[in-house]
Amino acid sequence: MHEAQIALDPEAVVAPVNRRLFGSFVEHLGRCVYNGIYEPGHPNANEDGFRMDVVELVRELGSTTVRYPGGNFVSGFRWEDSVGPREKRPVRRDLAWHSLETNQVGLDEFARWLKLTDSELMLAVNLGTRGIQEALDLLEYANHPSGTALSDQRIANGTPEPHNVRMWCLGNEMDGPWQTGYMTADDYGKLAARTAAAMKMADSTLELVACGSSGSGMPTFGDWERVVLEHTYEHVDYISCHAYYQERGGDLDSYLASSLNMQYFIDTVVATADHVGNKLRSSKKIALSFDEWNIWYLDEHQASDEVNTEWRYAPRQLEDVYSVADAVVLGGLLITLLKNSDRVTSASLAQLVNVIAPIMTEPGGPAWRQTTFFPFSVTSRLAAGVVLKPRIRVGQYETAVYGAADVVDSVATFDAEAGRAAVFLVNRSRTDSLTVRVDAGGLGVTRVDEALTLNDDDVYAKNTLDDQQRVGLKPNGTARVDDGTVEVVLPPVSWTALALS
């Protein structure tokens, strides 16, 4: 099959495009913060020590909400270590990543960095080694305007305005045996419910995220969500999902279809959440916060000795270098998130800089874009208005892991007021180019404003320190519109975006 038909119906609306789907994640891990976004002494550093060349790339990436400060890190973190005079902040051991944490960047500095990047903060509290009181203290420090011990401490520390954090994660991956203080679903559900109830006593408008499963392969997957939500349903707004993908055993066909697993994950969590809601006779719907998703060559990291016995500052950890194929998979995962944006209303690409990241830096040196930067930045820039679910007619191919998978996947957005539409497409075929005809007559489009494709003859081509621009987006000269039908040719293993008006 060398052709695909896509029909776009302006009435087939999934949900308004939610900017929070383009969130990312900054964890105190490896070189994400230290020698990543923060490198005092670097020629591009500002007075706070933040690299402005990295800020520029983050802005270009179009990331919106940023989850912080972890991740596994948060489950041993004492937030009060990282505020106040820098010279008084203690150096601690971070057990999660076996590193030294100097606390030179904390909430107040990070909030200033977020302003530079125009991003919203999504803050996680430690429910691994800590509990309700510490979460309430952090909430008071962060959000209370003034006139209380902790809000006045924040003001004395140089931050007069409250941070006004809306989204809060109640711990991180508490189902994982690797998590400091990990728990059973029952124990976590009770703690999360009590913490959430107390936080909402302080501010009922907060948006709270309960920990879901750290992967759909977890033995407790499904049951974990059920039990946690039975405890927390009326107190929380979101349940989290985390998923990482990688090519295994040279099986590129299955890898290119990774978004089928993401779809299964979303369907299962939605069904479970709605089951609990119905059982509780609740009219409320729980949303999904897909607050860790990405490509991560985890098997390789686990086999390596990068988490070693020494306690090091800002070690090089989880520094995956991404290929064209990885970027195509990432573009496909973003298509799946958009397609499910009626229920997935927040998502965080994990992570942002150096650590499984779209942006890489070298200490004292340059910052550059990984291959995965491109589908994310273009989707974030072009997606506007409402998400439309396309009807796709295309052939399938066999995968060892997922069975039959469509060769093409796609989603569209439509901004009727601005008269603009965007179509995002992946071609999963390893061998064949595909001509796609998109019936966009109902949208009234007459022009292709942009057609960008990411592909390469070498699907494993990468951008590296020595060759930072080896892979990039190319204009797709085949795209044209004729009488409401858009035609474009998708090369094998490719991701494409069309901007139409």
Q: Which residues are catalytic?
A: 173, 292
| Closest distance to ligand AHR from the beta carbon of 289 (Å) | 13
**Contacts to ligand AHR from residues 213-252, by CB under 6 A:** 214
| Closest distance to ligand AHR from the beta carbon of 318 (Å) | 6
Give CA–CA dist 436/409, Å, rounded: 11
For 357, the token pair is: 């990241």
Member of 61, 350, 388, 499 binding ligand AHR (CB under 6 A): 350
Give CA–CA dist 287/238, Å, rounded: 5
Q: Which is nearer to ligand AHR, 49 or 215 (CB)?
A: 215
Contact 418, 481 (CB under 8 A): no
DSSP 62: T
Q: Phi-psi region for residue 496, left (φ > 0), alpha (ψ -120 to 50) or beta?
A: beta
CB-nearest residue to ligand AHR: 71
Contact 355, 318 (CB under 8 A): yes
* CB neighbour list of residue 315: distance below 8 Å, 6 or more residues apart: 30, 31, 97, 99, 306
| Closest distance to ligand AHR from the beta carbon of 167 (Å) | 16
Q: Which of 365, 357, 271 is nearest to 322 (CA)?
A: 357
Give CA–CA dist 463/247, Å, rounded: 18
Q: Which stretch binds ligand AHR (CB under 6 A): 70-78, 357-365, 456-464, 475-483?
A: 70-78
For 287, the token pair is: 């949303």
- Contact between 70 and ligand AHR per CB under 6 A: yes
Burial group, residue 401, by CB count within 10 angstroms (0-12, 13-18, 19+) = middle
| Closest distance to ligand AHR from the beta carbon of 295 (Å) | 11
- Contact between 333 and ligand AHR per CB under 6 A: no
Q: Which of 431, 423, 383, 436 is nearest to 256 (CA)?
A: 431
| Closest distance to ligand AHR from the beta carbon of 96 (Å) | 7
Member of 36, 69, 71, 332 binding ligand AHR (CB under 6 A): 71
Q: Which stretch binds ligand AHR (CB under 6 A): 69-77, 338-346, 364-372, 432-440?
A: 69-77
Contact 192, 231 (CB under 8 A): yes
- Contact between 27 and ligand AHR per CB under 6 A: yes
Q: Which stretch binds ligand AHR (CB under 6 A): 66-74, 117-125, 325-333, 475-483?
A: 66-74
Spacing of C-alpha 131 from chain mean position: 26
* CB neighbour list of residue 56: distance below 8 Å, 6 or more residues apart: none
Q: Which is nearer to ligand AHR, 117 or 351 (CB)?
A: 351
**Contacts to ligand AHR from residues 251-270, by CB under 6 A:** none
**Contacts to ligand AHR from residues 126-185, by CB under 6 A:** 172-173
| Closest distance to ligand AHR from the beta carbon of 413 (Å) | 28
Q: Which is nearer to ligand AHR, 292 or 409 (CB)?
A: 292
- Contact between 351 and ligand AHR per CB under 6 A: yes
Summarize as ranges the residues that interact with ligand AHR (CB under 6 A): 27, 70-72, 172-173, 214, 292, 350-351
